[in-house]
Amino acid sequence: MQRVALGSGGPEVAQLGIGTWAWGDRLFWNYGSDYGPAEVRAAFEAAVAAGVDLFDTAEVYGLGESETLLGQCLRASNQPVKIATKYFPLPWRWSAEAVEEAVSASLKRLGVERLDLYQVHSPLNFFMSAETLMGALAREVKRGRIAAVGVSNYGAAQMAESHQLLAAEGVPLAVNQVRYSLLTREIEVNGVLDTARKLGVTILAYSPLAQGLLSGKYTASNPPSGARRLDSRYGAAGMAAIAPLLDLLRTFGKKYDRTPAQVALNWLICQPGVLPIPGAKTAPQARENAGALGWQLSGEDVQQLDQASVSWRKA
């Protein structure tokens, strides 16, 4: 299985990670209804057994519950994995000390002494200047509590500014975590993807299956549970719009003996400098995600998927 570095000289990981937004989140994902701690633990173990070694969480996922659950999984496992978490610059956090406190809290919930990747969840510079924020993160790297720094949901100019500020401190910007999938291709035309490649920044693609739309498991009469069923894309018109793309995913799934979701994830893996982080609430989901690894779509098939989803390549 091929491994890639996060950014320039950052931690090396498998070409696919696991996002843990759903771990502990009751509001959007209905944690505690049809899945809970046991299922999350099984998802972690299945992912690690399949060779996945990057887990992405955040302090706001489940209001800290995701980090706590991930920490419990880490303590029960003897397998080395990489942990990425995120800091959210909420309104009352306007100082470098707030960043230090947030790092300390995440370390405690996760039960580790060092974070492999620490990301800024959103570019809310009107609460804290980019200079203050990046300076605080650079100090945490030098202190040894963070191995690599990343950002999330940053535009091209914001990413370039963060890269420049960190570089002045001798710290590379490792990643920009953004929404990217066959149904969300804005970063290809708004400068984010081009800028990331120019700067050597890895794109962590969240919602790589468009919150299940690309899995092929749902229809207008069989939408997902929870808040997702309110998404108009799961309605009759929305599902009709993506039907040709889903048909192509199924066709390639048969060709490669894979599921539509695995084909959609592999399309992202084939994009230079991109690493998808699909979510997994259960062991079967984790194993299905990992099935996107160890093989590769042909160049012609990648191009066909590009063309089939070109209408979602818009700013």
Secondary structure of 230-248 in HEC code, one letter for each residue: HCHHHCHHHHHHHHHHHHH
Q: What 8-state DSSP symbol labels residue 274? A: E
Amino acid at site 244: P
The Cα-based distances of 93 to 73, 89, 96, 132, 155 in angstroms read 29, 6, 8, 11, 22
Cα 43–48–50 angle (5° rounding)? 95
DSSP output for 84-114: EEEE---TT--SHHHHHHHHHHHHHHHT-S-
Q: What 8-state DSSP symbol labels residue 223? A: P
Active site residue 61: yes
Q: How many other β-carbons are positioned within 10 Å of the β-carbon of residue 165?
A: 20
CA–CA gap between residue 224 and residue 29 (Å, rounded): 10
Q: How many other β-carbons are positioned within 10 Å of the β-carbon of residue 294?
A: 13
- Judged by DSSP in three states, 77 sits in coil
The residue from 31, 35, 61, 218 that is catalytic is: 61
Q: Which residues are catalytic?
A: 61
